[in-house]
């Protein structure tokens, strides 16, 4: 019950120390690593905090105290949206008492609001599993959509910090040029993947497969959000054995045991693809992420 006076002193120092150096650069809170990486490209001078890693399922994040403290100080919160963060973001907003990033504020940016998401549903029922009525929020593997998200994100940066508008514009022009060049290169590289078939854990790579012309023939989850069951996995053996499946694809934050089991039974290789930036050594930025995913898919051919 005794209050540690040293701790209290440190806290006071922290709090005063911070307020005196505020407003130097934008303080950006990114829900997922791809938005943290995008912020790094488009707002190089900003203070960027990424709330989750590529090893964490963004559907299931705890509204932990550290995230509330970070959001309290954010000028801009950048997230995937489409209800991906519905289990934690509203609690962070409520607890962080930061009017700049509440719903409807310019300081809240959702990637899924800037583009038309795939797989929007007219009506959903929980018996369908944990599906998103607003469409698939895992936009990070769609180069075309990401380019449009980048444009909107840059515009938002300019709106929030008009004095540095020229810097944001320059950063965007540089990023967009490199991204378009890379997209052309990736498309050429990925040509052999067109028409390939995979089995995957969830719809995490829906945009990647859509872009590359890969078809996801089956899902390791019996229903979205429900863990793979032995019965469901057994039902996939025959399909996997048909000889036309390129790989069993699992994201970095998904359990690979079901995929390994299916692979042992059928000989189809398992690919653990980075769910986002930072999942492996090669995926340290958005460009590296795409390079690594393509290299892995092409290697599994």
Which residue, 195 or 227, has its beta carbon nearer to other proteins?
227
Binding status of residue 63 toward other proteins by CB under 8 A: yes
To the nearest whole angstrom, how small is the minimum distance from the Cβ of residue 188 to other proteins?
A: 35
φ and ψ at residue 24, rounded to 5 degrees? -75, -45
What the block records as the tokens of 200 is 């995957």
**Residue 181 CA to its chain's centroid (Å):** 22
* Identified binder of other proteins from the candidate list 133, 181, 295, 298, rule CB under 8 A: 133
Which residue, 102 or 197, has its beta carbon nearer to other proteins?
102
Work out the angle at residue 262's Cα, subtended by the Cα atoms of residues 118 and 219, and round it to the nearest 5 degrees.
15
- Give the x-and-dash track for 241-270 against other proteins (CB under 8 A): ------------xxx---------------
Work out the angle at residue 75's Cα, subtended by the Cα atoms of residues 72 and 111, and round it to the nearest 5 degrees.
110
Pairwise CA distance, residues 48 & 8, whole Å:
27
What the block records as the tokens of 220 is 């390791």
Which one of 37-45, 54-62, 149-157, 238-246 is the stretch in contact with other proteins (CB under 8 A)?
A: 54-62
Per DSSP, what are the bridge partners of residue 79?
A: 110
Which residue, 63 or 262, has its beta carbon nearer to other proteins?
63
Pairwise CA distance, residues 238 & 157, whole Å:
51
Binding status of residue 106 toward other proteins by CB under 8 A: no
Binding status of residue 69 toward other proteins by CB under 8 A: yes
Strand pairing report for 245-251 and 197-200: parallel
Residues of the shown chain interacting with other proteins in the complex, contacts defined by CB under 8 A: 1, 3, 11, 14-15, 18-19, 22, 52-53, 55-57, 59-66, 68-69, 72-73, 82-83, 86-99, 102-105, 108, 121-126, 129-134, 225-227, 253-255
């Amino acid at each position: 019950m005794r209050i540690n006076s040293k701790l209290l002193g440190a806290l006071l120092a922290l709090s005063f120390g911070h307020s005196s150096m505020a407003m130097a650069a934008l303080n950006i809170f990114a829900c997922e690593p791809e938005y943290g990486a995008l912020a790094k490209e488009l707002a190089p001078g900003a203070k960027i905090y990424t709330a989750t890693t590529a090893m964490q399922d963004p559907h299931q994040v705890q509204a932990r105290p550290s995230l509330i403290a970070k959001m309290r100080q954010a000028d801009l919160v950048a997230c995937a949206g489409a209800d991906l963060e519905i289990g934690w973001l509203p609690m962070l907003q409520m607890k962080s008492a930061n009017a700049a990033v509440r719903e409807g504020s310019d300081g809240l940016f959702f990637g899924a609001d800037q583009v038309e998401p795939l797989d929007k549903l007219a009506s959903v029922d929980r018996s369908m599993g944990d599906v998103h009525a607003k469409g698939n929020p895992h936009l990070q593997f769609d180069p075309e959509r990401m380019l449009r998200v980048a444009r909107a994100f840059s515009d938002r940066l300019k709106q929030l910090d008009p004095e540095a508008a020229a810097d944001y514009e320059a950063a965007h022009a540089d990023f967009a040029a490199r991204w378009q060049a890379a997209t052309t290169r990736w498309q050429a590289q990925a040509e052999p993947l067109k028409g390939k078939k995979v089995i995957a854990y969830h719809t995490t790579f829906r945009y990647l497969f859509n872009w590359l012309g890969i078809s996801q023939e089956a899902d390791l989850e019996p229903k979205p959000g429900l863990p793979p069951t032995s019965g469901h996995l057994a039902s996939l053996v025959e399909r996997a054995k048909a000889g036309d499946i390129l790989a069993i694809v699992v994201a970095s934050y998904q359990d690979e045991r079901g995929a390994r089991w299916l692979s042992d039974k059928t000989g189809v290789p398992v690919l653990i693809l980075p769910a986002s930036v930072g999942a492996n050594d090669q995926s340290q930025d958005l460009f590296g992420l795409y390079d690594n995913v393509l290299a892995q898919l092409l290697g599994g051919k």
